[in-house]
Amino acid sequence: MFSDKLSRYAAAAIQTLFNHTLSPESLTIQRTIPAFREFGDFSLVVFPLLKISRKSPEETARIIGEQLILLPEIAQYYVVKGFLNLKLSPQAIIAALGESAEIQPAAINKAELPVVLEFSSPNTNKPLHLGHIRNNLLGYSVAAILEAAGYKVHKVNLVNDRGIHICKSMLAWTLFANNETPESAGKKGDKLVGDYYVLFDKKYKEELAHLKSEGWSEEVAASKSLLMQQARDMLLKWEARDPEILRLWKQMNGWVYAGFDETYKTMGIHFDKIYYESETYLLGREIVNEGLKEKVFFKKEDGSVWVDLSEEGLDEKLLLRADGTSVYMTQDLGTAQLRINDFGTSRLLYVVGNEQNYHFEVLKLIFKKLGRPWAGNIFHLSYGMVELPEGKMKSREGTVVDADDLMAEMKATARSMTEELGKIDDFNSEEAENLYQTVGLGALKYFILKVDPRKNMMFDPRESIDFNGNTGPFIQYTYARIKSVLRKAGVYPGLNPDSFDAGLHPREHSIIVSLSLFSTMVNQAASELNPALLANFIYELAREYNQFYHELTILKEADENKRNLRLTISYQIAQVLKSGLNLLGIEVPERM
């Protein structure tokens, strides 16, 4: 709010003083760091303006400051080492308080509307794990932030329900399950199917070890593997629509979908539309045939289909195998085209790990070669991997952190710490269970989302639940503390802006300025597709409120105007904390 206004004011001042037109967006105006806030609320970086002013940094800052102080919103200016620091007037601060919790969407290029945002994209050969959690939480939060910033967003999921990896689970179940079902095993369906995926890998490795013991090399042993050949044969039968293979495939995928639905519900995730690779790959094949006819793609002697991207600095990319079966690129070609057909969008956003950077670069280049006008509007939100203190996870070996188990562990940890701190003495059993769930999931989601998506991260559940630190529970507890204050205050009269002509307490002044940045931060997080910006903003706001709470009296303040101001500040902080956490997919408890 204030930063946008100050940018416009500064641009106007530069036009007046130096007869030079600059867009407000080209100016850098930022919140001063805490150590310098007695010397202003915002800083204008003047170094880029020296070619226009033809003066020293200090003199440039002084001249612009003299112009801006004529505005009623500016109380003082300071020149600090080539930066122009601006301190807002009490009247401007009070006037902004009532709007601080509102999100003002940024100006949007209409050509970017709507956005189709794909996230989750699980395989039906295993349950969701910690890596999927980061994907789901990141995708869901980015969608919410984009919507808050004014975009129309369609949240979609692509279920990878076909391919050799699916056939591995199916084959292992056929050979070793003895007709076991989720009901007979007492397991969620996705976990049961995942167990057979792990079992296939175990049996395959045993088979390779046996073949190598007979003197065969690793490569020859792999080619002689009966298990792998059976899995490939099963895939060929699936693509030929063999009735018995299709029946088994539908049955096992049905088990997995029921398990996924349960996990998504616990995680608080839902989608507007779900696509299935078993359907989209057919359109992908049509696109491959189109490329062959137009000589964009080519066939090799073995019948496989490729695209040559050497002119673009890459290599040749496989699009169809020699046996006619599809690859990931085939179905992604079909899925992208289908979404254009469904939504008429010009922006496709994929939330996928950074190990697929090359894949999405190729996807864009292929559509460019095919002459699709929207090819350049495919965006890959590439995020880093999640690791544990003990190392990387491996699905084939079963060394993953299961999403359901992790969420249950987070709830149990929240239960233990909450009871230890004595925060539920007046809760009934249902209220307590809801609180454990809210705090546990809040801790998990915040810990994941506070890290820049582009960075790899280490997840340690023990560190994520802490009521004193940069954690979800700390922010949730701050919100609950404010709600307690407001309940005790009851109804309080509105503010009288005229009563603050003499000024505000520095804590009041600073926290209202911080509040005013909420809308700007939401728009910035949307622009950069980075929920971490918002997560860390609301943490800093919660931390500043706790300093405000401990330093100033609120309910016992004798001056009615000051009491009402501090209650209004508290109310607005609560609104922003709740709104901000909700954009991260995190609920807040009304008391704890």
Which CATH number belongs to the domain containing residue 559 in this structure? 1.10.730.10
Q: Are residues 66 and 182 in the same domain?
A: no
Point out the domain boundary residue: 225, 246, 267. 267
Quickly count: other Cβ atoms within 10 Å of residue 327's Cβ: 18
Q: Are residues 55 and 188 in the same domain?
A: no
CA-CA-CA-CA torsion for 573, 578, 580, 585, nearest 10 degrees?
Answer: 170
Q: Are residues 53 and 194 in the same domain?
A: no
Q: Are residues 437 and 573 in the same domain?
A: yes
Q: Confirm whether 21 is domain-assigned.
A: yes
Point out the domain boundary residue: 88, 103, 120. 88
Q: Are residues 52 and 193 in the same domain?
A: no
Print the domain residue range for 252.
163-267
Count up the domains in the chain and report the number.
3
Q: Are residues 561 and 433 in the same domain?
A: yes
pTM, rounded to two decimals:
0.91
Amino acid type, 135: N
Sign of torsion over alpha carbons 549, 555, 557, 560: positive
Point out the domain boundary residue: 88, 118, 150. 88
Q: Are residues 188 and 70 in the same domain?
A: no
Quickly count: other Cβ atoms within 10 Å of residue 447's Cβ: 23
Q: Are residues 77 and 174 in the same domain?
A: no
The two tokens of residue 271 are: 């989608």
Q: Are residues 444 and 563 in the same domain?
A: yes
Beta bridge partners of 45: 83
Q: Are residues 78 and 178 in the same domain?
A: no
* pLDDT tens per residue across all 592 residues of the chain: 788 889 999 999 999 999 999 998 899 899 988 878 888 999 999 999 999 999 999 999 999 999 999 999 999 999 988 899 999 998 888 888 877 778 877 766 655 668 999 999 999 999 999 889 999 999 999 999 999 999 999 999 999 998 899 999 999 999 999 999 999 999 999 999 999 999 999 999 999 999 999 999 999 999 999 999 999 999 999 989 999 999 999 999 999 999 999 999 999 999 999 999 998 888 999 999 999 999 999 999 999 999 999 999 999 999 999 988 888 899 899 999 999 999 987 799 999 999 999 999 999 999 999 999 999 999 999 999 887 776 544 444 445 788 999 899 899 988 888 877 776 778 888 988 999 999 999 999 999 999 999 999 988 776 777 777 899 999 999 999 999 999 999 987 777 767 665 578 999 999 999 999 999 999 999 999 999 999 999 999 999 999 999 999 999 999 988 999 999 999 999 999 999 999 999 999 998 8
Amino acid type, 592: M
Q: Confirm whether 113 is domain-assigned.
A: no
Q: CA angle, 291 as apex, 287 and 295 as ends, to 5°?
A: 170
Mention every residue, 6+ apart, whose C-beta is less than 8 A from residue 35. none
Q: Are 302 and 358 in contact (CB under 8 A)?
A: no
Q: Confirm whether 328 is domain-assigned.
A: no
The CATH number of the domain holding residue 48 is 3.30.1360.70
Q: Confirm whether 422 is domain-assigned.
A: yes
Q: Are residues 571 and 482 in the same domain?
A: yes
